Amino acid sequence: MRRGLIARSFVELPDAVFDARLDRVRTAMQGAHFDALVIYTNNTRPAGVSWLVGFVPYWSEALLVVPREGAPYLVVALSFRVKSWIERTSRIGEVVHTPRIGLKAAQRIAATRPDAAVGIVDFDGLPAGIADDLREGGPGLALRDASALFAVLRAKADPAEIALAVRAAMIAHQALIAARGDTLNAMIAGVESEARRLAAEEIYIAAAPDLERESRLMRVEGEAALGKTFALRATVAYKGTWVRLVRCVCQHSIAQEAAARLAQAVASLPSDRGFSGFRSWLVEGARMAQPLDPLIGSRLNAAKPPPPGALVSVQGMLMIDGRTVLVGAPALIGQSGETASLIVDPLFD
Amino acid sequence: MLAEERRQRLLAAMREAGIGYMALYGNAWQGDYLRYGADFGILEGHGIALISAGGDVELFLDSAVEAERAELEAPLVRVHFAADIVRAVGVRLDGVANDRTAAAPRRLLPHWLTDAARSFKLADATALLDKLLMHKSAGEIAAVRRAARIADEAYGEFRRAVRPGRRQFEIVADIEAHLRRRGCPDNFMIIGSGGKDVFGMTPPSARQIAAGDLVTTELTPAVEGYFAQICRTLVVGSASAAQRRAFGVFVEALEAGIAAVRPGARAADVARAENDVFRKHGLGEYTTSQWTRVRGHGMGLFADSKPHILEDVTTVLEPGMALIVHPNTYHPEVGYIVLGDAVVVTELGAEVLCQTPRELFEVAA
């Protein structure tokens, strides 16, 4: 349930950005002989549709249909009353409202070509009710998984997305600086308030209130006692782009060393060799629809290394001078021959 | 304690239905089924809980950070991080394919798991879970009641936050910060501001509050996962005669709706009571789906639970149900107005949980 600012910026996301992304998708569709591409979105899995048309559902669900020719259209379960809001906040020519989005999308596609080849991003993960309705609405349609096709295109960030990620990272940084007060809840309130005032689309705050006792991060309900060292993680969305940033409140020299070791480890990405000294670590990024999909890390068996040019969020746990330290920040994977780099300083004074 | 109570109720229902394994799906939009069985409030990615008739609960999550959080927040559950959650759950269900397996809500489950080619067949247990979700225990109602108190306080903060020149998202920032300060981790909130040009509420925009605006909000904080909602409207400056007249219709409709809440009544009766007031005032058109979504809904582990309060919903109200009655809709003279109170169905009728007066509040212009 999104509660932050959802507004389209014609400066940060002009039409040309969306047009270029759509052109790349259409070229790939032609290569795969797809007549249409279907991408599902809800507020947990918005990263495919928001990347193509800017639409972020605060509630409910939708399917974006990209025909091989003609304008994309959005089939939404949201009611007609929010049509103007959808049109204001995204670049979409036509919005179709129906409670059975799979049925309507299939009927529209089949009306053009009853035996159309339809690529579906993350077909396996598509809600069963929608998959059933797609089959009912277009019994002659050939439904195929288009995850690999889409992931190749989605994973690499273009300049507009990099700029949004930098903005999201700056919001997270300023928000974490605003973690002040005597209690953990006061600090969390400060972070929440600052991020939303700076126009975050969403923020999730997790805390490890006492790193001497527990290094895992949780969402705080009620009040939690603060230890001598603790950590806060801000997961911030800004216009469809998500980043994570960690602030560890500990001795400054230890935080400095942790930040330096994170930067050094990031520089080796997409190789994982830089993380050998970490107790645990994780690299996440957008592949298809989930904004921060786990890609590589100490808990992942099957790795999906980020490609050159991908935006990722990196976090890890270190032991420095016998102390547990959490550190994390977003990074940009270099193009061929370039070194990956953090896009915001994970250090807080 | 609430989690254990829910688990026991679920196991009893599974036994009665002859279900050996139950798969409960959840994501941040619709997380109530998952939370009921696994006591985890999911924020990112997919989550699927597998509950055995013997009482074991396994929770599969495809987000590594969520898996870490679940290990801490749901310590009685066996957590599995599985980047390919669909296959991981499939492998687990292959191992119990000889048992009777079911899922809720089956329509949201990743479709690969419901494909006919699987070794297991997941029956649809959504109605079974819906019944559990709607009929709350005393402990669950107590959590809703606490959430309603927080909603009242948050609306007081909302009235303080609304000032001319402020942008909608800045007001929401104040409310969310207020809730975090109170230790309340979750809230569903939408907002509207303006006049006849406003047809509903949405997430906040950058629109500035102006003198004369009607400012509407639906605030829905959660306690231990249980949401309670309040809907109110305020005016920036002094309310006009038209605004007061229009608001009077909503007060009358809300009172009529709440009066219709009693055991044995149907959700449709509540909606009809609200809508009849609008029809009496010549505003029947504004009770249709073109202008309004629902005339209220259930509350609990989801902010928008069943039953939906609509004239074609025949769900019978019973003690232990929690609802919001809200005749929110567009008024042609002044714009969109909201007014709604959280209630609990008791043997005697409705117990109103919200204590904020049913006023058209005024704030300084």
Nearest C-alpha neighbor of B151 from the set B130, B126, B179:
B179
> For residues A39 and B50, what is the distance between their CA atoms, to the nearest angstrom?
28
Between the alpha carbon of residue B96 and those of residues B51, B84, B241, the distances in Å are 12, 19, 67
B328 and B233 belong to one structural domain = yes
Q: Chain A, 311-340: which have a CB under 8 Å from a chain B CB?
A: none
Question: Cβ of A175 under 8 Å from any chain B Cβ?
Answer: no
Radius of gyration of the CA atoms of chain A, in A: 21
pLDDT value for A79 = 87
Tokens of A51: 């990347």
CA distance linking residue A79 with residue B294, whole number of Å: 11
Which of B101, B134, B167 is the last residue in one of the domains?
A: B134
Q: Are B17 and B125 in contact (CB under 8 A)?
A: yes
> What is A15-154's CATH number?
3.40.350.10
Are residues B35 and B180 part of one domain?
no
Residue B193 belongs to domain with CATH number: 3.90.230.10
Under 8 Å CB pairs connecting chains A and B tally to 188
- What pLDDT was estimated at residue A301? 81
State which of B83, B107, B134 marks the end of a domain: B134
Residue A80: band (very low, low, confident or very high) from pLDDT cuts 50, 70, 90: confident
> Considering only CB atoms, which chain A residues are within 8 Å of B28?
1, 43-44
Kindly list the domain boundaries of chain A, sorted by start residue. Answer: 15-154, 159-342
Burial of residue A190 (CB within 10 Å: 0-12, 13-18, 19+) is buried
pLDDT of A262 above 90: yes
User: Within this chain, do residues B192 and B239 fall inside the same structural domain, yes or no?
Assistant: yes
Domain edge (last residue) among B76, B104, B134: B134
CB B224 within 8 A of CB B141: no
Q: Which helix (H) or strand (E) holds A42?
A: strand A36-42
A182/B254 Cα distance (integer angstroms): 42
Average of per-residue pLDDT values in chain A: 96
The confidence score (pLDDT) of residue B316 equals 98
A15-154 and A159-342, same CATH topology: no
ipTM field: 0.97
Query: Is pLDDT at A1 greater than 80 in this prediction?
Result: no
Are B217 and B293 members of one domain?
yes
Same domain, B191 and B331: yes
Cα A174 to the center of its chain, rounded Å: 20
Residue A341 at interface with chain B, using a CB cutoff of 8 Å: no
Residues B41 and B107 in one domain: yes
Peptide bond into B105 cis (omega under 30): yes
CB within 8 Å: B68 and A216: yes
Q: Looking at the structure, tell me whether residues B268 and B209 fall in a common domain.
A: yes
Do B354 and B218 sit in the same domain of this protein? yes
pLDDT truncated to tens, each residue of chain B (365 aa)? 899 999 999 999 999 999 999 999 999 999 999 999 999 999 999 999 999 999 999 999 999 999 999 999 999 999 999 999 999 999 999 999 888 999 999 999 999 999 999 999 999 999 999 999 999 999 999 999 999 999 999 999 999 999 999 999 999 999 999 999 999 999 999 999 999 999 999 999 999 999 999 999 999 999 999 999 999 999 999 999 999 999 999 999 999 999 999 999 999 999 999 999 999 999 999 999 989 999 999 999 999 999 999 999 999 999 999 999 999 999 999 999 999 999 999 999 999 999 999 999 999 99
Chain A interface disruption, residue of B34, B71, B111, B199, most A CBs within 10 A: B111
User: Do B48 and B147 share a domain, yes or no?
Assistant: no
Overall domain count for chain B: 2
Q: Where are the alpha helices (DSSP H) in chain A?
A: 15-32, 47-53, 83-89, 101-112, 128-137, 147-154, 159-177, 184-197, 252-267
Percentage of chain A with pLDDT > 90?
93
Burial bucket for residue B195 (CB in 10 Å: 0-12, 13-18, 19+): middle
CATH class of A159-342: alpha beta
pLDDT score at A337: 86
Residue ranges making up the domain that contains B130: 2-134
Q: How far does CA B215 lie from the centroid of its chain? A: 21
Euclidean distance between CA atoms A301 and A316, whole angstroms: 17
CB contact under 8 A, A1 and B188: yes
Put simply, whether B116 touches A (Cβ < 8 Å) is: no
Contact flag A217-B65 (C-beta cutoff 8 Å): yes
Give the residue from chain B lying closest to A192, CA to CA: B177
Question: pLDDT per residue over A107-158, tens digit each?
Answer: 999 999 999 999 999 999 999 999 999 999 999 999 999 999 999 999 999 9
The domain that contains B87 carries what CATH number?
3.40.350.10
Is A60 within 8 Å of chain B by CB? yes
Judge whether B157 is closer than 8 Å to chain A, CB to CB: no
Of A126, A195, A290, the CB nearest to B45: A290
Q: Is A220 on the interface with B (CB under 8 A)?
A: yes
A85 and B106 in contact by Cβ < 8 A?
no
